[in-house]
Structures are given as structure tokens and as C-alpha cells.
Structure 1
């Protein structure tokens, strides 16, 4: 049916048994769709110049739009089609231009199997705190000047008026850069080009504070004293969480694991009979079976198993396992003579392997589950089952015991003159 679409004409339309279309005689391609329920919606239909694709677009319902208002919108859509622009792509572009930083963050962290819980938490935390003022803004509205100003503000004031740490500022903008890149890949402009052609975070390249790699570890001369102290403290530890913390730290020195991997270790990942444990989802997403030295096996065999708690190092805390043995690390730092963190124990393990035990770097990388860039290892060599590295793991554990014995002997020598003088 064709007629000039006016209010009077539309008011006289009766709904039929199926969808009916009433086309406007003034503007070719402009029409009204009427459903059997009586719903009336203005539409526009035409072919996109150059592509030959036919496009039908909803303008809006009658009542919200008058016939004249809908006709004006239809003319604009038809004009764009004659210029080779598909109105559907333009609508997607308009929608994409409104996507907020928070919406991009939500989509980014919700991808199944892509991120660990800790990574999700860090990303959401930065959007919720560092970039709170931008969270509800369209992500395309974030500019280079905004990034530079916020970065400098973080360095001088931090989040709560305190001087910020460069490491935190760098991490925050690494997160923002990743979110903007993701938005650029997921959303396109009407012509098919990326929604965000240039990531504004890239402008910080010359502004970012370059951080020196951390090298903190237990120094060679203190390794024995540290290992000795841990053993002595364990013999007098009667509180469950205290014992778990000490055993966790000892396990870190015996394996070189990341704290998150060791603290969340479950009994079903451990095979004491064959002397290995399994990391199904480590930080580098490379599942691996790792060897246990005799000392590590002995440590685990002595660990009590708690009913209804699957963790090797259980805790009364909410997580169910020890997460951060902070108090113990402060105490251990006093023995080491410098501040020590759980990750510093990983560096200590690596230095013992490379420097003291002369274990080649390739094997040391495997023992610490570092991603190797060796082509043969990546494509032709089994780097998942590493039980064959048990001799190297044993060599490191034996070195710790040797150094502890030396430290114990030195302690006796230092005490002897005092005893005689007394």
C-alpha cells in the first residue's frame, strides 16, 4: 500500500492478520510497518550505493515520532545510503562511540578462561580507583593530555593525597592501555576502520619512569642462617597458622615457586609416592609437573591434613589457606639482614641454582617455570613433565642443608669464647 503518510492516514489504519507495510509516496523507501497487534513503527528501506546491499532500518514507533519527524530521519538515512554508507554500520559506530571505560572493563574481564582471578581483580581495582573519574565516560573520550596529566598526578599525589609509587602508576596505565586496545579491536567505525586508531596511553612512552629490575634476595652469606632459623622456628611452632606459614616459606625456598602457586597448593596436586607435584594453572598458563627434593617430600609428609580443607598450607582465614606470611617475612628479614618478600625467595632459589649449584640456565628456567623462548623447547621438547629434573632440585635442597650446617657451626664457635669467659 502506498500513500502519503500523515497522522490522519495512520489513524485510519486497521491491523491485519500479518505484518503490513504502508509506503510513503513523498519519500521513496520511507514506510510504516503495522503488526497484527496494532504496533506501528516507521522504517526506511533502500540499497547502499556501491555495495548493492539492501538495508532496512527502524526509525522509531509512531507516537514517539510524528510522520514528519520520521520522514526527516528517513531522508538522512537514504542520503547516507546514496553516499555508500550503511546506516546499520553507522548505528553500530554511534553505539560504539558511547561505550564507557567501565563497560569495556566488564567485557574484558568476563571473557571465559582468559584471565586469572588476581588479574581480574587488579584490572577492576584500577578502573574502580585510579580511573574512577573516567569509568562512566566513553572510552573514545580519553585523550593523550588526560593520560599525561593523570600519570603525573599519580607520581606526585598518588590516589589518596600521598606520593604515588612509579610501579603502581605504570601498572595502572598498562591496564588502561590494554583496555583501550581491546575496545579498538572489538568496535569498528562505519567504514570498517578501528574505533580507536591511536592508543592515547602510547603518549606516555617518554614520560614513564623506568624502573630498575628488582634484585632483592637472601644474600649468599645469609642463606644458611635463614634456612637454619626456619627449621628451628618450625620445631617450636604449635599454632596451626604459624606452622603453615613456616612450612610455606620453607617450601618456597625448596621449589622457587611463586607465592600464589605455593600458597594455594592442594593435596590432590601432590604425589608423594613418586615425588612430584602438579601446577595445573600457573601464572604463565603452562601446566607443569614439578619434581620434589627429598627435603620437600619430607616437609609435605609431616604436614597434617585437615578435614574439609583441601589445601597443603591451610589457614583459619577466609581463603582457607595462607596467602601472605607477612609477619613471618618480617621476622625472617631480621635474620637475612635486609627486607625479604616471598618473591625474593624465588630470586634466592634462582641464584642458588645458577651461582652456587652451577645448574645451567635452561634447566633453572624449567625449575622455576619461566617461559622459555627456545624454539626447540617450545615446539619439540616436553616442558610439561619435569620429574627428570629431580637431581637438580635435590642439589639445591642439599645446598640449603649444607649452608644451615655451616651457620649452626658458626653459631657454636661464636658462643664458645663467651662460655669460657663465664
Structure 2
């Protein structure tokens, strides 16, 4: 069939149960091919100068490419064929763009799943679905700088600037991966639109550590074991939540699934043994929390132990680093303990070795526990009354009595509960 291809022709396309070709009467060599099931795509068909061969290459789905853009691309390819370029191989060498932004993200997830941590990929999905879900079916070529600029400004009125920056930082990474040039997200920096956000610096003070420890040793809510484990090891949220008892062996906690894909371990010295608890079957989790249940337990705990500023699980990793620095450990040692990527020859070839690392971590964790012991024993403060639902059945104290207990009373009471904990 030969006719002038127009938007009306495209709107009338329908499956016929067999393959069909519609060739443009205005631009010879340009057309639309339809499958038996009704999938239609633009194509260019012509002879290559010097070879005498007739070749055909497809430009993309008619639903995702504007007719004017397809016609313009067809003219360019027809000119190249006249110069002797086999346009089939030209398109094989240049990887075609994903048809839609949704497909661009799916390709990114599929390829990057072996390089990026599951939590990182989940973050990419979440930011796209939360803020850009209406762009899933948007043809990749049609995303413009103006669209990015407008959405960025709109989101700033609704969400935290740091989160908005992350949304478009993630989108920019996906577009770069897909080969979109120029990247429309560059409009944010080109026009100086990005709102600068100060880096987070929250960590728990000695007094706040004291309060967490007092609750732990006195009332034993399950969440405080995990909170202290975070503060005393510096591991990330998902690294601890994903632990099973099969990961604990030879006196160490092994973390095979880390953010940077670099295996990490923590020696179980001092109080760390008590925090992980008694061994259960290998396939059971060490800390019986999901992300959701940890969030609920943490909110409940913070509602009772009210600190001056709010804090998050990641702030406990910062607490670990800050107090390690306070007791004299430098950036290099703390980076090893935090399992951060090596940047120097010494770190790559010496401090990342198992023997050096184990010796260093044993010393660091023991020193940090001594510092926490100082906070627990020496720092005073008013003891808050504890709600009944936080008190385990084996530790029951009358609320009136609890409200009159002094710091010395609480210290004495905690020591009678368990005076065998190493390091405390």
C-alpha cells in the first residue's frame, strides 16, 4: 500500500492478522511496517550505493516517535545510503534509546542489579514512582529540559529539597546510562536551579548514648539490642537486618551483602556477643525485624526517650564514627571499620587484609565499648518513667517506685539484672 503517511493514517492503523507495509508517497524509502498482531513501526528501505543491495532498518514504534521526527531521521539515513553507508550496521553500532522512560529504568535495573545494592536499586524505583510515575510512558526522546525544569520547581514546593535533588540525580544517572545526549537534567545545573542542602551531621551525644544503654540494661526492649549493635559496629541498616545465624561463625559476624559489594566482618568482642543473643537455627534472622517493624519499634522508643533532636538509624553509623574519632582513631582506621572503599595503596593492599583488619577492629571495638561504659556509668540525668508495654514480664517494677529511683538506684538495679556482661 502506498499513500502519504499522516497522523490520520497512523490513527487508522489496525491489525489485519498478517504482515503489512505502508509506503510513503512523499518520501520514497520511508514507511510503516505492521505485524500480524498490530504492532507498527517506522522503517527506511533503500539501496546502498556501490553494493546494489536493498536494505531495510527500523526507526521505532509509531506510538513512541513523532511522525516529523521519524521522517527527519529517514531523510538522514537515505542520504547516508546514497553515500555508500549500510544503514543497518550503523544502527547496530549505535545502541538505540529505550522507547520510554519506564523502559529506560527497567533496562537500568536489569543491567545494574549485579553492581548496585538492592537497597540502592529500590531507591531508584521509589523516587521514580513517587515523583515521576506519570512519565513512565513518555517517549525518551520527548523528555525536554523545560519539562525537567518545571517538574523540579513543582516538587520543591511539595517535598524536602534534598529528596528532590535525589530524584533528579537518579533520573540523570538512568538517562546517562541509556545514552541520552544531551541529558535534559543538565538544565538544573546550567540554570543554577539546584537548592543547596547542608550535609547531615546528626549523631548521638554521650548523654543520649547513656539513655539508650540505661533502657537496654534495665528494661530490655528488643529494639535497643539492635540500636546498640548499630552504634558499636557502624554497619548500615540493611546489613544488620539481613543477618542470619549462618552469617555468624568463628567468633565473627560476616556481611556478604554490603553496599559496595566488598565483604565485611565484625569480631564479636565484649558486649557484641550479648547483643546478638543466643544462637538459633542458621536460616533464622539474628535481629527479628523488618524495615517496617523496625520503623514502628523505633518510633515507639523515640516517643518515650525524647531527645532534643530527632535521629535516624543512619545517624547511629555517624555516632560510631564520631565517637571513634573522639577516642583517638583517625580517618583511615574508621574507614576500614566502616568498610568504605579503599582509595590508597596502603588501604587496598594492607589494611583491607584479613589479619590486619581483624586485629585493628578488635582493638577499636573494645576501646569504643570502654568509652560507652564511661557514658553509662558516669553521666547522670533524670530517669524517665517507663510505660508498662515496654517492660518485659521478667522485669516488673512498680511505676511509683520507678519514678522515685535515683541514678545510683538504676545503676545498682541494672547490675543485679546482669553483672556478667563483658566490658560493661
Q: TM-score by structure 2 length?
A: 0.67
Q: Residue by residue, what CA displacement relative to the aligned partner does 1:64-117 show, whole Å, maximum 9, x if unpaired?
A: xxxxxxxxxx99977641224433256669993561101111111012412322
Q: Which consecutive residues of structure 2, in runs of 5 or more, have no partner in the other structure? A: 1-28, 30-42, 59-73, 384-404, 410-424
Distance 2:147 2:121 in 1: 24
- Correspondent of 2:245 among 256, 267, 277: 267
What corresponds to 1:207 in structure 2?
Answer: 193
What corresponds to 1:341 in structure 2?
Answer: 312
Cα separation, partners in 2 of 1:83 and 1:330, compared to 1, 3 Å: same
Q: Which consecutive residues of structure 1, in runs of 5 or more, have no partner in the other structure? A: 1-28, 30-41, 60-73, 159-163, 185-195, 238-242, 417-422
What does residue range 244-283 of structure 1 map to in structure 2 within 5 Å? 245-271=223-249, 274-283=250-259
Contact kept, 8 Å, 2:336 with 2:352, in 1: the verdict is no
Cα separation, partners in 2 of 1:43 and 1:135, compared to 1, 3 Å: closer
Q: Residue by residue, what CA displacement relative to the aligned partner does 1:363-399 show, whole Å, maximum 9, x if unpaired?
A: 1111122224223212454355632120111110121
Does residue 366 (structure 1) correspond to residue 336 (structure 2)? The answer is: yes
What corresponds to 1:168 in structure 2?
Answer: 163
What does residue range 178-257 of structure 1 map to in structure 2 within 5 Å? 178-184=173-179, 196-205=180-189, 206-234=192-220, 237=221, 243=222, 245-257=223-235
Cα separation, partners in 2 of 1:325 and 1:366, compared to 1, 3 Å: farther
What does residue range 315-354 of structure 1 map to in structure 2 within 5 Å? 315=289, 322=294, 325-331=297-303, 333-334=305-306, 336-354=307-325
Distance 1:400 1:254 in 2: 9
CA RMSD between the two structures: 3.6
Cα separation, partners in 2 of 1:351 and 1:127, compared to 1, 3 Å: closer
What corresponds to 2:363 in structure 1?
Answer: 391
Cα separation, partners in 2 of 1:98 and 1:377, compared to 1, 3 Å: closer
Q: CA deviation at 1:197?
A: 2.5
Cα separation, partners in 2 of 1:83 and 1:129, compared to 1, 3 Å: farther
Q: TM-score by structure 1 length?
A: 0.68
Aligned residue for 1:168, secondary structure, equals: helix
What corresponds to 1:101 in structure 2?
Answer: 101
Kindly name which structure, 1 or 2, has the bigger radius of gyration based on alpha carbons. 1
Cα separation, partners in 2 of 1:172 and 1:275, compared to 1, 3 Å: same
Contact kept, 8 Å, 1:332 with 1:340, in 2: the verdict is no
Q: CA deviation at 1:309?
A: 5.0
Cα separation, partners in 2 of 1:382 and 1:94, compared to 1, 3 Å: closer
Cα separation, partners in 2 of 1:359 and 1:98, compared to 1, 3 Å: closer
Distance 1:135 1:275 in 2: 48
Contact kept, 8 Å, 1:102 with 1:136, in 2: the verdict is yes
Q: CA deviation at 1:284?
A: 1.9
What corresponds to 1:403 in structure 2?
Answer: 375
What corresponds to 1:149 in structure 2?
Answer: 150
Moved more, 100-109 or 370-379: 370-379
What corresponds to 2:56 in structure 1?
Answer: 57
Contact kept, 8 Å, 1:263 with 1:323, in 2: the verdict is no
Aligned residue for 1:282, secondary structure, equals: coil
